[in-house]
Amino acid sequence: MFVFFSKFTIINKNRILKPIISFGMVVLLCASSIAANELQPIYEYELPIQENTAVGDQAQFIRQGITEVLVRASGSEKVLQSPIVKEALNTPDKYVKQLSYHQRPNTGRSIKILFNEKLINQLLNKAQQPAIVKQRPLVLVWLMVEKGGTPYSVGNDSDPIIANEMSKALTKRAIPFTFPLLDLTDVSEVAELEVWNGTLDSLQKGIKRYEPEAVLLGRLKNNVNQWQSSWTLLRGNENTTWTSEGKNIEILLNEAAETLSLRLVDPNSKSMANITTEAATTQYLSIAITGILNMEQYAKVLDYLRQLPSVVEVEVTQIMPEKTVFNLQTTTDKATLIKSINEGSLLIENPPLLDEEQKEWLSYKMAGI
């Protein structure tokens, strides 16, 4: 069976065929504010690619695309930790409905993949993960930061780095959101110091002009290279609060978006009243691996580490003749991480390193070396 994709492209729904080039226009959305009716398609993925990209690379693009689509459809990165989902990622092409290559006038070449909504939702259901409804509530995100003892509200023009990181975390989960304008009306109606200290009367008055379906209030403070944050989700007459801390503001905001999604759009979630959650504290652990002899092995190890449960990010910190050192950002403790690594067959535990500065590192070697 063939499915009509656009006036330029027809693709077989069951197999990946040769690419069909199409020419068209693309509409760019503002990354810092996405209204409910402007939400990016949940089951569609488009990625800019190089002009010389081989068609044989499409398997990598499909895997990357289904990973993002699963997070959007469920509203949570935790879906990627499911053993059933991990198994499905070994054959991601079965979930592809349509695929095409495009040549955009302004942005260049891209690959566009439409995943089968029914099959994606069936996978989520099998993995006991929520499949979130397409029409999601609009969230007004009101962030405040304290610097020099004075709190201030974050918008597109004030502290754009924090606003941008929060935007990316929410967009990743397909949550419609907007930031306050922080114009004269906001300034006159919202008493920032009162809101910072927990009195929300003026905030609840000031947000009425935006007509949001929910409000996320985040209060952040940097104390000696350690970020501390307090979050409040306002929806109807119910409030949810939680706190988190960490050294990396990007990870902290990503955790907040994850918690927001779980509290906000999970249809099976319980009442949000009076819930207090301590977000998982992220820690950093180094792992030294011997026996990585070529780029193929390096890529295999990097992908393996990234797929471990609770691992947020993997960075290469040192490449030496005898070993390669990776830095893992993880939300679990050292013993649990070691157990997760040992459950696989790619790496074998080495004796602890003797160097005083390296004795806390995890030590492994490639299997078969």
pLDDT in the model for residue 280: 42
Q: Are strands 2-6 and 44-48 parallel, antiparallel or unpaired?
A: unpaired
Q: What is the helix (H) or strand (E) element at residue 46, kind and residue range? A: strand 44-48
Res. 142 pLDDT band, cuts 50 70 90: very high
Domain ranges, ordered by start, for the chain: 2-126, 139-278, 283-366
One-letter identity of residue 362: L
Mean pLDDT of 263-284: 47
Q: How many other C-beta atoms lie within 10 A of the C-beta of residue 359?
A: 10
Mean pLDDT of 291-309: 84
- In this model, does residue 38 exceed pLDDT 70? no
Instruction: Using CB atoms within 10 Å of the CB of residue 177, give its burial: 0 to 12 exposed, 13 to 18 middle, 19+ buried.
Output: buried
Res. 369 pLDDT band, cuts 50 70 90: low
pLDDT in the model for residue 209: 93
Mean pLDDT of 157-171: 90
Give the whole-angstrom CA distance, residue 290 versus residue 329.
20
Give the whole-angstrom CA distance, residue 326 versus residue 269.
37
Candidate ranges 124-138, 171-185, 249-263, 297-311; pick with highest mean pLDDT: 171-185
Mean pLDDT of 171-198: 93
Same topology between domain 139-278 and domain 283-366: no
> Which architecture characterizes domain 283-366 according to CATH?
2-Layer Sandwich (3.30)
pTM value is 0.63
Closest CA to 291 of 205, 356, 363, 227: 363
What tokens were used for 331?
A: 């939300």
- In this model, does residue 317 exceed pLDDT 90? no
Could you give the percent of the chain with pLDDT greater than 90? 39
User: At the topology level of CATH, where does 139-278 sit?
Assistant: Double Stranded RNA Binding Domain (3.30.160)
* Mean residue pLDDT across the chain: 80
Q: What is the helix (H) or strand (E) element at residue 85, kind and residue range? A: helix 83-88
Bridge partners of 325, per DSSP, are 288, 318
63 three-state secondary structure = helix
User: What are the two backbone dihedrals, phi and then psi, of residue 351, each rounded to the nearest 5 degrees?
Assistant: -60, 150
Q: What's the gap between Cα 248 and its chain centre?
A: 15
Q: 196-226, pLDDT tens digit by residue?
A: 998 999 999 999 999 999 999 999 999 887 8
Q: Does 263 or 56 have the greater pLDDT score?
A: 263
- Taking the CA atoms of the chain, what radius of gyration do you get in angstroms? 23
The residue whose two tokens read 């996405």 is 34
Q: Does 57 or 70 have the greater pLDDT score?
A: 70
pLDDT in the model for residue 265: 57
Q: 46-68, pLDDT tens digit by residue?
A: 888 876 666 567 888 999 999 99
